[in-house]
Structure 1
Amino acid sequence: MTRTEQMAPVAIPKRNQSARLENWSRAFYRFRQSWLSMIGLAIVIALVVIAVLAPWIVPHPEHVVGGTNTAAKFQPPSASAWFGTNALGQDMFSLVLVGSQVSLFSGLAVVFIALVVGMIVGAIAGYFGGWIDEILMRLTDLLLTIPSLILAMAVAAALGTGVWNMIIAISITWWPAYARLVRGEVIVKKEEQFVVAAHALGANWVRILGRHILPNIVSPVVIKASLDMGFAILTVASLGFVGIGVKPPTPEWGTLLSGARSYMPDYWWTAVAPGLAIFLAVLAFNLLGDGLRDVLDPRARR
Structure 2
Amino acid sequence: MSTTEHNIADDFATPRRDRLRRAFFRFSQSKLSMLGAVMVAAVIFFTVFGTVLAPYPEHVAGGVDTASRFMPPSVAHPFGTNELGQDVLSLVMAGTTVSVLAGFGVVLIGSVIGTLVGAVAGFARGWIDEVLMRLTDLTLTIPGLILAMAIAAALGSGFGNMVIAIALSWWPGYARLVRGEVLAAREEVYVTAARALGATPKRILFRHILPNVVSPIIVKMSLDMGFAILTVAGLGFIGIGVRPPTPEWGTLLSVSRSYMPDYWWTAMAPGLAMFLAVFGFNLLGDGLRDVLDPKARR
TM-score range for the pair, normalised by the shorter chain length? over 0.9
Q: Is residue 296 from structure 1 mapped to residue 296 from structure 2 by the alignment? A: no
Give the drift of 1:17.
Answer: 2.4
Aligned to 1:32: 28
Question: Residue deviations 1:50-81, cap 9 Å, x none?
Answer: 12112321111111121111110000111111
Aligned to 1:229: 225
Aligned to 2:134: 138
Structure 2, gaps ≥5 residues long: none
The structure 2 residue matched to 1:57, chosen from 41, 53, 77, is 53
Q: Is residue 218 from structure 1 mapped to residue 214 from structure 2 by the alignment? A: yes
Moved more, 51-60 or 165-174: 51-60
1:82–1:153 distance in 2 versus 1, CA, 3 Å: same
- 2:232 and 2:218 map into 1 onto residues whose CA distance is 21
Aligned to 1:119: 115
Q: TM-score scaled by structure 1? A: 0.94
The structure 2 residue matched to 1:194, chosen from 190, 195, 218, is 190
Q: Is residue 179 from structure 1 mapped to residue 181 from structure 2 by the alignment? A: no
- 1:282 and 1:107 map into 2 onto residues whose CA distance is 11
Aligned to 2:93: 97
The structure 2 residue matched to 1:77, chosen from 35, 60, 73, is 73
Give the drift of 1:16.
Answer: 3.4
| Contact 1:123 1:183 survives alignment (8 Å) | yes
- 2:77 and 2:102 map into 1 onto residues whose CA distance is 27
Structure 1, gaps ≥5 residues long: 1-9
| Contact 2:27 2:287 survives alignment (8 Å) | yes
Aligned to 1:7: none
Give the drift of 1:158.
Answer: 1.0
Q: Is residue 281 from structure 1 mapped to residue 287 from structure 2 by the alignment? A: no
Choose 1 or 2 for highest CA Rg.
1
Q: 1:87 is paired with a residue of what secondary structure? A: coil
| Contact 2:107 2:167 survives alignment (8 Å) | yes
Q: 2:134 is paired with a residue of what secondary structure? A: helix
Q: 1:173 is paired with a residue of what secondary structure? A: coil
| Contact 1:37 1:288 survives alignment (8 Å) | yes
- Equivalent pairs: percent with the same residue? 64
Q: 2:169 is paired with a residue of what secondary structure? A: helix
How many residues align? The count is 292
Give the drift of 1:300.
Answer: 6.4
Moved more, 291-300 or 13-22: 13-22
Q: TM-score scaled by structure 2? A: 0.95
Q: 2:168 is paired with a residue of what secondary structure? A: helix
- 2:91 and 2:52 map into 1 onto residues whose CA distance is 13
Give the drift of 1:148.
Answer: 0.5
- 1:55 and 1:220 map into 2 onto residues whose CA distance is 33
Runs of 4+ in 1 over 2 A off after TM superposition: 10-19, 298-301
Letter in 2 for 1:266: D
| Contact 2:69 2:86 survives alignment (8 Å) | yes
Q: Is residue 161 from structure 1 mapped to residue 157 from structure 2 by the alignment? A: yes
- 2:204 and 2:195 map into 1 onto residues whose CA distance is 8
| Contact 1:293 1:300 survives alignment (8 Å) | no
Give the drift of 1:210.
Answer: 1.2
Letter in 2 for 1:98: A
- 2:110 and 2:8 map into 1 onto residues whose CA distance is 38
